[in-house]
Amino acid sequence: MFHWLEQRPFFFAVVLFLTISFAGIIEILPDFAKASQPTVGTKPYTTLELAGRQVYIKDSCNACHSQLIRPFKSETDRYGMYSLSGEYAYDRPFLWGSKRTGPDLQRVGNYRTTDWHENHMMDPESVVPGTVMPAYPHQFTNMADIATAYANANTQKAVFGVPYDQEGMPKLGSWEEAQAAALEEAKAVAADMKNQQVKDAVANGQVPEIVALIAYLNSLK
């Protein structure tokens, strides 16, 4: 057979191509099927949390705060359980960060509360003396973009198969439903806050950035 092939360059090229393709297929194809598997209990973000995530990205929190806890005792003592890859299954984009000017935030929802965040974002020095974190008072007056967050969630559902609207998972529903649900969540956050301007805005059906951001931070567990 080799004798026959060696005399026919065209068929030799065909067989060579098939051989190399076979090796490529068995090495490359399995990786396409290997999507990120969410850890048990990991849920997609709700519309309000996604809006908060956009605020987090917009105000570049990830430039100073990481969201990745390495498996060292010195890290787990301070930030909680080390990170697992499946916990990021619904993060688009990832916000791992590469530099810790401030502390890691991956599980900040476990050890900080709404009122603490409120004080901290308005005036970081008032709760952490000597901190270099700047204040973000504009988050108390700017409104969060719930519509974009809803579109974001729907895109993730349609394109990446993120399990919204399934049993035990956050519900998206129609735009009106999602808007109402986000407002409901915002009210729960605002109930723990003290800023009257924010409370009034939420009572009027608006969602200030700070409320969305706190909802997102509280969801980081």
Partner 1 sequence: MNSLVKGGIILIVALMAGTYFMAGDAFKLGDDYINDLTMLGAVAIIVITVFVALKYVNQIKNDVAGGELAEESWDGIGEYKNNIPVGWGVIFIGSIIWMLWYFFVGYPTNQFSQIGQYNDEVNEYNDKFSSKWTNIDANGLAAMGESVFLVQCAPCHGVDAEGINGKAQDLTIRMNKEQVLDVIKNGQQGLGYPMGAMPPMMAQGADAEAIAVYVAGGMKGEAPASFAACSSCHGVDGKGMNGMAPNIAEYDDTLVTKVLENGKKGAIGAMPSFKGRLNETQEKAVAAYLNSIKGE
Q: Say if residues 11 and 1 touch (Cβ distance below 8 Å).
A: no
Residue whose CB is less far from partner 1, 101 or 126: 126
Residue whose CB is less far from partner 1, 75 or 91: 75
Instruction: Tell me the CA distances in angstroms from 114 to 22, 106, 147, 174, one per residue in order.
Output: 56, 16, 24, 28
Note if the bond before 93 is cis, omega within 30 degrees: yes
Shortest distance, CB of residue 84 to partner 1, whole angstroms? 9
* CA–CA dist 150, 50 (Å, integer): 8
Shortest distance, CB of residue 44 to partner 1, whole angstroms? 23
Shortest distance, CB of residue 125 to partner 1, whole angstroms? 10
Residue whose CB is less far from partner 1, 12 or 116: 116
Residue whose CB is less far from partner 1, 8 or 171: 8
Shortest distance, CB of residue 40 to partner 1, whole angstroms? 17
Residue in 40, 145, 144, 49 with CA at minimum distance from that of residue 91: 49
Residue whose CB is less far from partner 1, 102 or 163: 102
Which stretches of the chain bind partner 1, using CB under 8 A? Answer: 3, 6, 71-73, 76-78, 80, 82, 110-116, 119, 126-129, 192
Residue in 76, 36, 67 with CA at minimum distance from that of residue 161: 36
Shortest distance, CB of residue 71 to partner 1, whole angstroms? 4
* CA–CA dist 135, 127 (Å, integer): 12
